[in-house]
Structure 1
Amino acid sequence: MSTTSLLIRKDQLATTRLHTATDQPLADGQVRVRVDSFALTSNNITYAAFGDAMSYWQFFPSAEEGWGSIPVWGFASVVQSLHPGVAVGERLYGYWPMASSAVLAPGRLSPERFTDVAPHRAELPAVYNQYFRCNADPLYTTDTEDLQALLRPLFITSWLIDDFMADNDFFGANTMLLSSASSKTAYGTAFQLHQRKGIEVIGLTSPANVDFCRSLGCYHRVVTYDALDSIAADTACVYVDFAGNGGLRNAIHERFANLKYSCSIGGTHVEQLASKGANKDLAGPRATLFFAPAQIKKRTTEWGPEEFGRRMVAAWHNFLATVTDASNPWLHAEHHDGGDAVQAAYAQVLAGKGDPRTGHILSLYKQPARL
């Protein structure tokens, strides 16, 4: 048996190659999974851009200096087990390498989930080390696996951004400016914020994506990047930056004298997002990176894990019902199977190209023929 991986040059994200290696025997307590499918979005590009600064490369370390595996979200099946609590054939949702298989060391098992307790992951954020057992996962449905892979991790971030803003009384603002408004994390955030009374949600986007953003119904206004002057300069606002575009960030900080808070989530402009000195000479408040695990930790401490889960599950089902509304579906999945197709899809997502209604589902495992 062997595993095929897509490796990325850490210092040159557009450089990739496929690598195949013979599988090593499992140790007692380990399981091997076949990674059946995973989503690739701009969120994963952010993982790569911050790979060193925020330890994303450490989850699935490559044996080759200078090359890494970008973590992705998706589904896998247990194909070999030396752990008495995890059976062959069990289906899991979680955080995987861009590879055809992976090895986990399950610990802290419950009917709903377990944690990978491999030593190299011990100091990494716990939220990324949890694997959900699909037969007891309240968010799982068989017929929505693609949408779960595409939207679930992003929506949880969106839900947490909304909660963080409300937790801080929106920093005294009544208007939320969301860049990259056509992106999945942005429109998930807008969906949540739109339910808040007294808060106007403005989506900022390129001219090509205006119609799409308006069709979603979760933005009170959609404004193109070159039309910021259509928003009053004295607006008490918060900027939620999903684009990572330094020029846009500067323009917003310069124009809005009453900017209460500036929050950076991720981005499609990788070279600007990851550059040092991004805050240098920036007018107004410092741009602060939003780190979802910190808000998860705060709320699970305050509410308890059960109440945290209950609220999040309810919000997810509400969001998914809207996204899958047959009269106006927000998203459809496009599958890319095999090494060449995965490389091509990665290049497309890295370049920020494509239809915002299309979500990319990838697999390096050789799939049976689709009917």
Structure 2
Amino acid sequence: MTTTLLIRKDRLDDTRLRTDTDAALAQGQVRVAPDLLALTANNITYAAFGDSMDYWRFFPSGEEGWGVLPVWGFGRVAQSMHPGVAVGERLWGYWPLADSAILSPDRLTAAGFRDAAPHRSGLHAVYNRYARCNQDPFWREDTEAAQALLRPLFSTSWLIDDFMADNGFFGARRLLLSSASSKTAYGTAHRLALRGGIEVIGLTSSAHRGFCEGLGCYSRVLAYEALEEVPAREPCVYIDFAGNTDLRRRIHERFGNQLRYSCAVGGTHVDRLGGGAGLPGPRPELFFAPAQAKKRQSEWGEQELQQRILTGWNDFLQRVLGSEPWLRVEQHRGMQDAQATYAQMLSGRADPAVGHVLRPR
């Protein structure tokens, strides 16, 4: 039996668990038991942009109006009808928020394979690749929980930092990051701080300000209501992890043409999402990490890009798990816990110092 969390696409707080009899595998398919999955604000972004960015398409629910949330993590092959994939293999990749998943492995290498399920053929390759852990340079058994929570987010953080530097920070040396307590935001701040000469201002709720200050990667941390403390007549860039339309308007109206670039990354404030039409200053541009990765692959080659991200990842992981750790892992078990943890993430009440991982069974 497979239990899956279903989410109403037009009302993200409406969820239910569905249990189905396991479908028989076709030749060439494998059944994987996801056994360590991360639930973060990034997953709320997937739900918020599920239709516009095709996140609901990865794992179709088969029910009109209902979606299955994609999550990152680890799984083990429980059954195989593919000669190139062994039962017991451990995999890293993109899974449905469920306790079972069926893949159709294709283009196998020693490092991994892609899922060739027909409904995924038009979706971005970065989400369709599965890594074999025994050949994965990012993988360490003793840090799997941190990998599940931070690895896909850090890749995005690394690519945002690279994109900003690649564009000369659009002529600004001050960057404003909203939802500063989110993992993707502070991963970006960590990378930017290593460069020097860049002022990185974290914007967050009053309740999370102390946490953000304690990270040590922001030049300054301000509560959202203190935005006016940032000088309005100096060039800046806004990197928006919150998706809060009211905050976006405040920033555009305050800085106007001194806002040299407005970068939309996430949607953690799902109750205040909105477009960017009619705002003063530059039109908000959606950041799509795979596009920057593709650019760098063409310039450097895939191996060089992965090596650079790996080097950055090892440095970041050492900081996150060091003597004064940024992250405390909290484990949950079973799909009912998955439903409750998703609701907590959606509400915005989650403690930013806690990382939530799920063992579905």
TM-score scaled by length of structure 2: 0.98
| 1:64-143 paired onto structure 2 within 5 Å | 64-143=63-142
Q: Does 1:297 align with 2:294?
A: yes
Give the counterpart letter for 2:29 in structure 1: Q
Out of 281, 285, 289, the position equivalent to 2:282 is: 285
Report the secondary structure of 1:138's partner residue.
coil
- Aligned residue in 1 for 2:25: 26
The CA distance in 1 between the partners of 2:63 and 2:248, in whole Å, is 36
Q: CA deviation at 1:189?
A: 0.2
**Residue 66 of structure 1, CA deviation:** 1.1
Aligned residue type for 2:264: S
Aligned to 1:311: 308
Match of 1:157 in 2: 156
Deviation at 1:118, TM superposition (A): 1.1
SS of the equivalent of 2:195 reads: coil
Q: Name the amino acid aligned to 1:269.
A: H
Amino acid at match of 2:348: G
Q: Is the 8 A contact 1:3 1:100 kept in 2?
A: yes
SS of the counterpart of 2:309? helix
Question: What is the 5 A alignment of 1:1-371?
Answer: 2-257=1-256, 258-273=258-273, 275=274, 278-326=275-323, 328-365=324-361
Give 1:135 deviation, angstroms.
Answer: 0.5
Q: Distance in 1 between matches of 2:126 and 2:207?
A: 35
SS at match of 1:146: helix
Deviations along 1:294-331, whole A, 9 cap, x unmatched? 111111111101101110110000100000002x1000
Deviation at 1:234, TM superposition (A): 1.0
Distance in structure 2 (CA, Å) of the matches to 1:284 and 1:86:
52
Contact residue 5 and residue 364 of structure 1 kept, 8 A: no
After superposition, give the CA deviation of every residue in 1:125-149 in whole Å (9 maximum; x if it has no partner): 0000000110010000001111111
For residues 362 and 346 of structure 1, the distance between their equivalents in structure 2, rounded to whole angstroms, comes to 11
Note if contact 1:244-1:266 (Cα within 8 Å) is conserved in structure 2: yes
Shift in Å at residue 35 of structure 1? 0.9
CA distance in 2, matches of 1:302, 1:229: 40
Q: Which moved more, 1:179-188 or 1:208-217?
A: 208-217
Q: Within 2, Cα distance between the matches of 1:24 and 1:355?
A: 38
> What's the offset of the Cα at 1:332?
1.2
* 3-state SS, counterpart of residue 194 of structure 2: coil
Is this contact kept in 1: 2:114–2:130, CA < 8 A?
A: yes
Per-residue deviation, 1:340: 2.1
Q: Which runs of 5 or more residues in structure 1 are unaligned?
A: 366-371
Partner Cα distance (1:64, 1:284) in 2: 42
Please give the secondary structure, in 2, of the residue aligned with 1:155.
helix
Aligned residues between the structures: 360
Residue aligning to 1:369? none
Mapped partners of 2:278, 2:54: distance in 1: 27
Q: Distance in 2 between matches of 1:354 and 1:197?
A: 31
| Alpha-carbon distance in structure 2 between the residues aligned to 1:9 and 1:224 | 32
Conserved in 2, the CA contact under 8 Å of 1:36 and 1:100? Answer: yes
In structure 2, how many angstroms separate the alpha carbons of the residues matched to 1:75 and 1:325?
A: 23
- Normalised by the length of structure 1, the TM-score is 0.95
Give the partner amino acid of 2:11.
Q
Aligned 8 A contact 1:239 1:259 in 2: yes
CA contact (8 A) 2:58 2:70 kept: yes
SS of 1:25's partner is: coil
User: In structure 2, what is the Cα distance between the partners aligned to 1:234 and 1:249?
Assistant: 17
Runs of 4+ in 1 over 6 A off after TM superposition: none
Q: Is the 8 A contact 1:207 1:224 kept in 2?
A: yes
Which SS does the other structure have where 1:256 is aligned?
helix
Q: What SS does the corresponding residue of 2:187 show, helix, strand or coil?
A: helix
Distance 2:336 2:269 in 1: 25
Question: 1:42, 1:180 → 2: CA distance?
Answer: 10
Q: d(CA) in 1 for partners of 2:6 and 2:112?
A: 28
Separation of aligned partners in 2, 1:227 and 1:295: 33
Cα displacement (A) at 1:197: 2.8
